[in-house]
Amino acid sequence: MSNAKSFVVAVAGATGAVGREMLKTLEARRFPVSRLVALASKRSAGQKLPWKGGEVTIEELGPKSFEGVDIALFSAGASVSREYGPIAAKSGAVVIDNSSAWRMDAECPLVVPEVNMSAAAKRPKGIIANPNCSTIQMVVALKPLHDAARIKHIIVSTYQATSGKGQAAVVDLMEQARAALDDKPITPSVFPGQIAFNVICDWKAGEADYSEEEWKMVHETRKIMGDDAIGVSPTTVRVPVVNGHSESIHVQFHRAMKAEEAKSLLRNAEGVVLMDDAYAPGKHPQPAHASGTDPVYVGRVRDDIAVPGALNLFVVADNLRKGAALNAVQIAERLFA
């Protein structure tokens, strides 16, 4: 890595929903890119994407794609990351990977800049992992509370947008919704069942009757927070929302915490927007408002009725931005820019 003030940045998976958001985020945040290398599969090579008032041409991802690259942002799926991540790192690039490939690798730090940026300094494989979208927004909201009273147990239920499954999933939602409104049969193309006007659990099965997505929230939260004793009880659900994940969180501490203390901590927390008005219908964080924005919105912070010293809160964020592209670019910013 040179000491230059601008960097050669590669985006692997540039044509995907998160890859496109990475390009937008790099441009919007004026990341010092001297040259952008947009990479995708052979079938996408030659396509053009908007970049800084002009266009960038997609190149086919290959073994020599990372020569001269300083920073490689990956969002092309776990199999691609496992194959090309080490190649990019060996070429001299710092790899920031958005897939699940390296998240639980002991030699790859799992980083959320507002929570554990210092972990990025030690990266034996040259690879930094971006956490799962649902985990990122939860730990940004909970880290200030954990620092103050140490979290004992989290119960989290998610309401996850279709864009988290890719652009094809958004199209599937729209097509299903049109069919339902026209009173026609619904034929899912991406989801395992009806998502229009319905909620489903659509992730692969994991151990003990939990989904893979639920296990990600368990293991990633502990790794990011640096505390294997934190209990995490997750239920992840997909809802018919285009963009923006929501989470209902119950949290218990080793030292009792009241809602007012939590609000005072969250008010000045980095990356957080606290919505602390008293409860009223419609006055709470919503994906429709969070979509297209950077912060993690926290609202409905209240003392638990049944468990003294525990709290309940509602957390919403744009899953393509803070849950993916923005988090990766923020890591790059803090390392180099």
Whether 108 is catalytic: no
Q: What is the chain's mean pLDDT, rounded?
A: 96
pLDDT value at 2 more than 50: no
pLDDT value at 139 more than 60: yes
The CATH class, in words, for 7-131+324-336 is alpha beta
Q: Which one, of 214, 182, 176, 179, lies nearest residue 198 by Cα?
A: 176
The count of residues in the chain is 337
How large a percentage of the chain has pLDDT more than 90?
97
Six token digits for residue 26: 């790099």
What's the whole-number mean pLDDT along residues 86-91? 98
Fold of 135-319: Dihydrodipicolinate Reductase; domain 2 (3.30.360)
pLDDT value at 237 more than 50: yes
Selected catalytic residue, list 108, 133, 201, 250: 133
Selected catalytic residue, list 108, 245, 254, 284: 245
How large a percentage of the chain has pLDDT more than 70?
99
Residue 160's pLDDT is: 98
Residue 5's pLDDT is: 87
153-175: b (≥16 Cβ within 10 Å) or e: bbbbebbbbbbbbebebbebbeb
Residue 214's pLDDT is: 98
pLDDT in tens, 167-199: 999 999 999 999 999 999 999 999 999 999 999
Q: Please, are residues 324 and 112 in contact by the beta-carbon 8 Å criterion?
A: no
pLDDT value at 1 more than 90: no
What's the whole-number mean pLDDT along residues 240-262? 98
Q: What is the DSSP string of 105-168?
A: -TTS-B--HHHHGGGGG--TTSEEEPPPHHHHHHHHHHHHHHHHH-EEEEEEEEEB-GGGG-HH
pLDDT value at 337 more than 80: no
Whether 254 is catalytic: no
Domain positions in the chain: 7-131+324-336, 135-319
